[in-house]
Amino acid sequence: MFSLEEIWNQAKAIRSTIYMDNSKYEKAIIHKGIKITKDRGSYTIVKSSSPYYDEIADEEYDIFIDKGWELGRLNVLMNECEEELDSLFIKIRNCYQDNNRKSLLFYKTRKEKVLSKYSKYHKQLNQINGKVNENSIGVKGSKEPIQ
């Protein structure tokens, strides 16, 4: 279990993060599509991959608190991919019904890109789980992804 302040510190410790100090009170960290803000001691985690910063759901906050910054970030990004894939599958089905080949090709290409991103995030998740599951004598445990 982590507090939001510990999650903030985990995000700040990663070299590839972007740290923004906008004012005396408001600070933010962006790391690969997820933004955590600190405003007068209050922390908020949002998705920065869309034009609007949407706050994450309560269930996703729970994963951040249980698993930490890296696993929480990957979980949010994978959820975004799943939502986009659901939308694309509906659009592809409609293109087949309407016999719209140009849109069908566009949506299929988009689907492949989203699947590629999802696969990349899943691979990162498995790599982190491999590091997490090592015990003190260096023998690796189960490599199942953390749900």
Where helices occur in 46-100 by DSSP H, the ranges are 58-67, 69-98
Task: Going residue by residue through the chain, which has 147 residues, state the pLDDT in tens, using 9 for 90 and above.
Answer: 999 999 999 999 999 999 998 787 889 999 988 999 999 889 999 998 777 889 999 999 999 999 999 999 999 999 999 999 999 999 999 999 999 999 999 999 999 999 999 999 999 999 988 765 544 343 444 444 444
Enclosing H/E stretch for 53: none
Number of H helices, E strands in the chain: 4, 5
